Structure 1
Amino acid sequence: MRTNIEIDESKIAAIRLLNSNLKTKKEIIDIALEELINTMRRQRLRQMRGKGWEGDLDEMRTHEVPLI
Protein backbone atom coordinates (compact mmCIF):
# COMPACT_ATOMS: atom_id res chain seq x y z
CA MET A 1 0.00 0.00 0.00
CA ARG A 2 1.34 3.42 -0.89
CA THR A 3 0.93 6.24 1.62
CA ASN A 4 2.48 9.69 1.87
CA ILE A 5 3.45 10.76 5.39
CA GLU A 6 5.78 13.31 6.92
CA ILE A 7 8.52 11.72 8.99
CA ASP A 8 10.86 13.51 11.39
CA GLU A 9 14.22 13.21 9.61
CA SER A 10 16.13 13.45 12.90
CA LYS A 11 14.42 10.23 14.05
CA ILE A 12 15.30 8.50 10.79
CA ALA A 13 18.91 9.64 11.20
CA ALA A 14 18.99 8.40 14.81
CA ILE A 15 17.73 4.97 13.75
CA ARG A 16 20.33 4.79 10.98
CA LEU A 17 23.04 5.55 13.54
CA LEU A 18 21.77 2.75 15.78
CA ASN A 19 21.31 0.23 12.98
CA SER A 20 23.27 0.79 9.80
CA ASN A 21 21.68 -2.30 8.19
CA LEU A 22 18.45 -0.37 7.62
CA LYS A 23 19.06 1.45 4.36
CA THR A 24 15.66 2.82 3.38
CA LYS A 25 12.85 4.63 5.13
CA LYS A 26 10.54 1.80 4.09
CA GLU A 27 12.74 -0.72 5.94
CA ILE A 28 12.77 1.48 9.02
CA ILE A 29 8.98 1.90 9.00
CA ASP A 30 8.40 -1.83 8.41
CA ILE A 31 10.60 -2.72 11.39
CA ALA A 32 8.92 -0.06 13.53
CA LEU A 33 5.48 -1.43 12.66
CA GLU A 34 6.60 -4.99 13.48
CA GLU A 35 7.92 -3.79 16.84
CA LEU A 36 4.64 -1.98 17.57
CA ILE A 37 2.64 -5.12 16.74
CA ASN A 38 4.88 -7.24 18.98
CA THR A 39 4.57 -4.73 21.82
CA MET A 40 0.79 -4.71 21.55
CA ARG A 41 0.70 -8.54 21.54
CA ARG A 42 2.85 -8.67 24.68
CA GLN A 43 0.56 -6.15 26.38
CA ARG A 44 -2.47 -8.28 25.48
CA LEU A 45 -0.76 -11.36 26.92
CA ARG A 46 0.11 -9.49 30.12
CA GLN A 47 -3.55 -8.56 30.52
CA MET A 48 -4.42 -12.26 30.49
CA ARG A 49 -2.18 -12.94 33.47
CA GLY A 50 -4.18 -14.18 36.41
CA LYS A 51 -7.14 -15.30 34.32
CA GLY A 52 -8.84 -18.38 35.68
CA TRP A 53 -8.11 -21.79 34.18
CA GLU A 54 -9.46 -25.18 35.15
CA GLY A 55 -7.84 -28.44 34.22
CA ASP A 56 -5.60 -31.25 35.40
CA LEU A 57 -2.14 -30.85 33.92
CA ASP A 58 -0.95 -34.20 35.26
CA GLU A 59 -3.80 -35.99 33.49
CA MET A 60 -3.19 -34.02 30.32
CA ARG A 61 0.48 -35.00 30.38
CA THR A 62 -0.22 -38.72 30.89
CA HIS A 63 -3.26 -39.01 28.63
CA GLU A 64 -2.36 -40.96 25.53
CA VAL A 65 -3.39 -39.50 22.22
CA PRO A 66 -4.44 -42.10 19.63
CA LEU A 67 -2.21 -42.30 16.58
CA ILE A 68 -3.84 -41.60 13.27
Structure 2
Amino acid sequence: MRTNVVLDDNLVAEAFKYSDNIKTKKDLIEIALREFVKNRKMKNLQDLKGKIKFADGYDYKKMRAGE
Protein backbone atom coordinates (compact mmCIF):
# COMPACT_ATOMS: atom_id res chain seq x y z
CA MET A 1 0.00 0.00 0.00
CA ARG A 2 1.46 3.33 -1.00
CA THR A 3 1.12 6.06 1.63
CA ASN A 4 2.78 9.43 2.03
CA VAL A 5 3.52 10.57 5.56
CA VAL A 6 5.52 13.33 7.20
CA LEU A 7 7.89 11.87 9.79
CA ASP A 8 9.77 13.53 12.62
CA ASP A 9 13.36 13.63 11.32
CA ASN A 10 14.84 13.42 14.82
CA LEU A 11 12.73 10.38 15.67
CA VAL A 12 13.69 8.66 12.42
CA ALA A 13 17.37 9.37 13.04
CA GLU A 14 17.11 7.97 16.57
CA ALA A 15 15.31 4.86 15.31
CA PHE A 16 18.10 4.25 12.80
CA LYS A 17 20.61 4.36 15.67
CA TYR A 18 18.82 1.43 17.33
CA SER A 19 18.31 -0.54 14.14
CA ASP A 20 20.43 -3.44 12.95
CA ASN A 21 21.52 -2.90 9.37
CA ILE A 22 18.31 -1.17 8.31
CA LYS A 23 19.07 1.08 5.36
CA THR A 24 15.74 2.55 4.24
CA LYS A 25 12.90 4.41 5.89
CA LYS A 26 10.48 1.93 4.32
CA ASP A 27 12.21 -0.99 6.08
CA LEU A 28 12.40 0.98 9.31
CA ILE A 29 8.66 1.70 9.24
CA GLU A 30 7.77 -1.90 8.39
CA ILE A 31 9.80 -3.20 11.33
CA ALA A 32 8.30 -0.56 13.62
CA LEU A 33 4.80 -1.61 12.59
CA ARG A 34 5.58 -5.30 13.13
CA GLU A 35 6.95 -4.57 16.59
CA PHE A 36 3.92 -2.40 17.39
CA VAL A 37 1.53 -5.20 16.44
CA LYS A 38 3.58 -7.80 18.33
CA ASN A 39 3.60 -5.64 21.48
CA ARG A 40 -0.15 -5.03 21.29
CA LYS A 41 -0.81 -8.75 20.91
CA MET A 42 1.32 -9.47 23.98
CA LYS A 43 -0.54 -6.79 25.90
CA ASN A 44 -3.84 -8.41 24.99
CA LEU A 45 -2.57 -11.75 26.28
CA GLN A 46 -1.47 -10.13 29.53
CA ASP A 47 -5.03 -8.83 29.98
CA LEU A 48 -6.14 -12.48 30.24
CA LYS A 49 -3.97 -13.14 33.30
CA GLY A 50 -6.10 -14.58 36.07
CA LYS A 51 -9.16 -14.91 33.82
CA ILE A 52 -8.49 -18.37 32.41
CA LYS A 53 -9.45 -21.45 34.39
CA PHE A 54 -7.64 -24.61 33.39
CA ALA A 55 -9.28 -28.02 33.51
CA ASP A 56 -8.57 -30.20 36.52
CA GLY A 57 -5.61 -32.46 35.80
CA TYR A 58 -4.21 -30.14 33.11
CA ASP A 59 -0.45 -30.75 32.94
CA TYR A 60 1.35 -28.32 30.64
CA LYS A 61 4.71 -29.94 31.38
CA LYS A 62 3.45 -33.29 30.19
CA MET A 63 2.15 -31.69 26.99
CA ARG A 64 5.55 -30.06 26.31
CA ALA A 65 7.28 -33.43 26.60
CA GLY A 66 4.87 -34.84 24.03
CA GLU A 67 3.57 -37.50 26.38
Give TM-score, length-normalised by structure 2.
0.76
The sequence identity of aligned pairs, in percent, is: 34
1:23 alignment partner in structure 2: 23
Matches within 5 A, 1:10-49: 10-19=10-19, 21-49=21-49
Whole-angstrom CA distance in 2 between matches of 1:5 and 1:49:
37
Greater gyration radius? 1
- Distance in 2 (alpha carbons) for counterparts of 1:9 and 1:17: 13
TM-score using structure 1 length: 0.75
**Runs of 4 or more consecutive aligned structure 1 residues displaced over 4 Å after TM superposition:** none
Structure 1: give runs of 5+ residues left out of the alignment. Answer: 62-68
Task: Structure 2: give runs of 5+ residues left out of the alignment.
Answer: 63-67
- RMSD, aligned CA: 1.6
